[in-house]
A and B are shown apart, each in its own frame.
Chain A
Amino acid sequence: MQHAWIAGKAAPLESAIAEAAKLFGASRYPLIAGLGTDVAGARAAIALAQRTGAVIDHMNADALLRDLDVMRSSGVMLTTPGETRVRADTLLLVGPRLADGAELLQRLLGKAEQSQRNAGVGRRIFWLCPEGDLARLASAGATIEAIGKDPGDLPGLLAALRARLAGRPTGKARVSSRKLDQVSKDLKTARFGVAIWSAAALDTLTIEMVCGLVNDLNATTRFCTLPFTPGDNAMGVLQTCGWTTGFPMRTAFGRGFAEHDPWLFNSRRLVESCETDCVLWISAYRPVAPEWREPPTIALTGHGAAFRQPPRIQIEVGCPGLDHFAVQHLASTGALTAVEATQPSETISVADVITRIASALPGNGERPC
């Protein structure tokens, strides 16, 4: 059963698509936001943006771009969920919000068989400033040593740890110098350590400090990072943006070529400053509305999305991997992965809606690619 609405009233899908094409085509500054969709949906959305000169952004770009900004301004040592699971003898969890990725964390913690060299060696787990997360994960059965509590102390704690690793003195930290020395010694004696954080909880300077700490540790041992990535296929959309535009999200096509600017093309800013006059909002994994007050012009969302005021056009779309086959980034594989539909339905996919909007645009066919 297909559901589409025009100005809050049920309408045939065809009419909703035609009306969406009319609105998007007439826009002087179109924005595609949310972008919670699979790779096919992202590809279609980016192609539409290229044709119409729109901006593309993702609802979780803030967190994702924090990790990315550290990478593209310094150095990062990464590893995979698989290697963390089988090889890591030391985990350094950093800051709160890791329980959001509880399933992944369980997977990483739950591995019995480690590489031969690590066989028989217990895994040590440290958690810097876990806030309330620790209790939520204690049930996992792993022994976790918490260091510090308040996430506000994290930058100072990381700096002190780095200093102690380098044999330099530290000022007063919230943690005793004996404890600091013990932890830095434990990190140094790790055979293969992995630092884990969620960018949703850390700022870029803190992330850079963790990456610097890990780089320092590699002077004598092996240590990597495994940042938890935000949901709604943010990483899959980032990758798709990469090969199709050369850039991450927060990229615009208004001047006839791709331009990336994390501030200028931030969807929230574009809406609140009224620079955009037409928002296509996509949230296929969860029926969520944008965080800003104004309703989107066109909304493609999962079943049950509630808006303060109805969008001009609303079309219910299938959930990738549930209603229809999808390629998406999975935290468990750390890669773009093909996922067959677990509850196949006739609900239309984001890719199909956008492709149909694109072919209904006025002046269709004028631009060959």
Chain B
Amino acid sequence: MLTRITGGRVIDPANNRDGVGDVWMRDGRIVDAPQGARAAATYDAAGKIVMAGAIDIHSHIAGWNVNTARLLLPEYHSAAAVRPTTTPLSQVGWTAHETGRLYAAMGFTTVVEPAVSPQHALHAHLELADIPIIDKATLVILGNDDYLLGLLRAKESGLAVQDYVAWTLEMSRSLGIKVVNAGGAAAFKENIRAFSFDDVVPSYGVSSRAIVKALQHAVNALGVPHPLHVHCNNLGLAGNAETALTTIAAAEGLPLHLAHLQFYGYGKEGERDFSSAAPALAEAVNAAKSVTIDVGQVMFGQTVTISSDVLRQFNARNQARPGKWLILDGDANGVGVVPYNYRRNDFYNAVQWAIGLELFLLIEDPWRVFFTTDHPNGAPFTTYPEIFALLMSRDLRSQWLAQLPPAALAVTTLSSIAREYSLTEIATMTRAAPAKLLGLADRGHLNAGAIADVAVYENNIDRAKMFRAAALVFKDGELVVRDGSVTNYRWGRALTVRPERDRAIDRRMRTFYEDRYGLSEEFLKVPEHALGRPEPFTVVPCAP
């Protein structure tokens, strides 16, 4: 079926396109304007903005960790049912179904769950399979697991690490590798309470740096498109910008992605020894061309922090708001779930909010800074529209700043920053760049051949309103949203990679799991037929 979206302002930075024109779709793909053909369906987008569907590279939407947060916080969902607009978490839509609905309504068509432990890969994919409309993917966590640390202790070759990484990616059906506080969770099991980049994991004699570098090289050598996704050490601590700067320097010219950099943007200046170090971090990112980051913007309100950085979450458990929490020492990383309420009148929270925006505005290249709240850690993903508005308007930022504690303003530079994001920069940051970062050549743009994921927005001066409810959204060429409401539920797929490996690793892993856990390694498998959806996976090619 031939479909035409006509007369909208098409913003497609991947193809340097910005102008009024048409977008044509046939059989789920974007096509060039056909000669003399008539569209079976035409959608008038005159006066509207047309972009590719948005891609979220880092949002905790599925799996054991997220589900545990749901079970920890029944009261927020209860509030959701009765009063949908009054409590921030309630807007998250605390179920798999609502997650798909709310993302689609904002014009998002692909979302990555960035923290899945191999032991819970099946669980994560079961949840993803129940998220309607959008495509999704997972990043699988390595870097605190006995097998990898054992390889490094034994000084085994980079090839051995590569085979293990490739095996893990295939077993867990993931799109990439994440490392969370490399070595920190393993050290915590040995009663270490603080862990930095050059600290060494007891029993293994391996530093956090060595783990990160080994994984970075393995991911790169395997041709996995998405670079190693790093959650640094010392998250949330005053003065931790040093850790981020050290990690950025350790990229050494190879691709490396640093997640939720806002949580590492903390200096020690000011009366309370807590200040924004965003300018220094932004400068370092601007200079390190192989490094990408996402922000992890904080927004005010109730949320819950869900992190595989078990050491950090353990240390933060007594700051839980409300005062309950769960810490799991897992087979490798584990997880901590700690509810938190970011308050506008709280000095520290206000500084965190400002640091996120500073990073967005001071990092110059929209191809290397990614739009996230680390949902739900900084804020629920339903706050995205407000954040787009803040990025696009200095006036709006000034209004917010006027309501914050003056002491917080004194330790950030946000009020002095004039930059306003253009719609093209927003489209780059949320469409073109994420597709490139994840190696998804078939999306994030509107060139012929791309998957027909298209979002059409009213060109409303109220940008938050504009981005909250897309006028039209197409997924694989099917109309799924009209005026912010889902009109058509369908099932997306999970995107995976399958790099080549030496099959000898399969036998090694069997022996390892039987020896260590008394289990067949098969329990890590994610069989396609377990998910109850036709064709639940799509394999994304790796570089040759």
Interface residues in chain A, defined as those with a beta carbon under 8 Å from any beta carbon in chain B: 39-40, 43, 68, 71-80, 82-83, 85-87, 107, 110-111, 113, 115-117, 191-192, 218, 221-222, 224, 238-240, 242-248, 257-260, 325, 327, 330, 332-338, 368-369
Contact = CB atoms under 8 A, between A and B. Distances in A.
B287 interface: no
Given A83-B329, A325-B529, A259 B81 contact: yes
Given A73-B324, A75-B320, A107-B518, A224 B329 contact: yes
Given A243-B96, A260-B74, A78 B326 contact: yes
A368 B330 contact: no
A43 B315 CA distance: 36
B122 A72 contact: no
B245 interface: no
A338 B96 contact: no
B443 interface: no
B67 interface: yes
Interface of B: 62, 64, 66-68, 70-74, 77-78, 80-81, 94-97, 119-120, 122-123, 126-127, 130, 146, 188-191, 202-204, 314, 317, 320, 323-331, 334, 489, 515-519, 523, 525-527, 529-530, 532
26 contacts: A72-B74, A75-B325, A75-B326, A77-B327, A78-B327, A79-B330, A80-B119, A82-B517, A82-B519, A107-B518, A191-B190, A222-B191, A224-B329, A240-B126, A245-B95, A247-B74, A248-B71, A248-B74, A257-B81, A259-B78, A325-B529, A327-B530, A330-B523, A333-B523, A335-B123, A338-B525
Nearest to B329: A79
A244 B518 contact: no
Given A243-B126, A338-B526, 12 more contacts: A68-B71, A71-B324, A75-B317, A75-B324, A77-B329, A115-B189, A243-B66, A244-B97, A325-B529, A327-B122, A335-B119, A337-B122
Given A85-B517, A115-B203, A325-B529, A239 B67 contact: yes
Contacts of A77: 326-329
A78 B72 CA distance: 14
B142 to A, nearest CB: 16
A242 B66 CA distance: 9
B517 to A, nearest CB: 5
A191 B191 contact: yes
B90 to A, nearest CB: 10
B190 A117 contact: yes
Contacts of A245: 95
Contacts of B516: 82, 86, 113
B73 A334 contact: no
A222 B127 CA distance: 32
B95 A244 contact: yes
A71 B126 contact: no
Contacts of A243: 62, 66-67, 70, 95-96, 126-127, 130
B73 A247 contact: no
Nearest to B320: A75
Contact of B527 (A40, A222, A246, A338): A338
Contacts of A369: 97, 489
A335 B120 contact: yes
A39 B126 contact: yes
B71 A78 contact: no
Contacts of B325: 75-76
A242 B62 CA distance: 11
A80 B119 CA distance: 10
Contacts of A258: 77, 81, 95
Nearest to A115: B203
Contacts of A246: 70, 74, 77, 80, 94-95
Given A72-B324, A336-B120, A337-B523, A222 B189 contact: yes
Contacts of A368: 489
Nearest to A80: B331
A334 B146 CA distance: 18
B67 A74 contact: no
Contacts of B523: 330, 332-333, 335, 337-338
A336 B324 contact: no
A330 B529 CA distance: 19
A239 B65 CA distance: 11
B532 A72 contact: no
Contact of B126 (A72, A76, A218, A336): A336
A115 to B, nearest CB: 6
Given A244-B95, A332-B519, A72 B71 contact: yes
A121 B460 CA distance: 68
B78 A221 contact: no
Nearest to A332: B519
A111 B324 contact: no
A191 B192 CA distance: 11
Contacts of A332: 518-519, 523
Nearest to A77: B327
A243 B96 CA distance: 6
Q: Which 6 A-B pairs have the closest CB atoms?
A: A246-B94, A246-B77, A257-B81, A242-B67, A116-B203, A79-B329
